[in-house]
Amino acid sequence: MRKVLLSMATASALLVSASAFAETTTTTTWTAADGTVIKEYSTTQNYEPVNVPDFDAQVGVVLPSNVKVYSLPSTVKVEQPDRYSYTIVNDQPVVVERSTRRVVHVW
């Protein structure tokens, strides 16, 4: 009985994890030019890049809550721009979903 319950709990945890990553998918196509625009815009706005040594920016990972995010520059044309924010972490432009702070793209 214990093995069955443990198996069910493990399966549930895997399904929850998989669905969390599935929610980070985006139909927006991010280009290399978008990354350049974001990085240059951040510099012109005097936004400070953030150094978080133990953070590895990858799609699906949640951005730490102490990292400030900014609205996308108006020159970055994507569907639903209000859905996304960005920051520069460890010298990399990173786009996140605003509602979850999950990373959706890294350059």
**What are the 10-residue block averages of pLDDT along the chain, 107 residues in total?**
47 42 59 94 92 94 96 93 96 96 96
To which H or E segment does residue 9 belong?
helix 2-22
First to last CA, the chain: 48
Q: What is the pLDDT of residue 29?
A: 87
Q: What is the pLDDT of residue 40?
A: 95
Q: What is the pLDDT of residue 3?
A: 52
The pTM is what?
A: 0.72
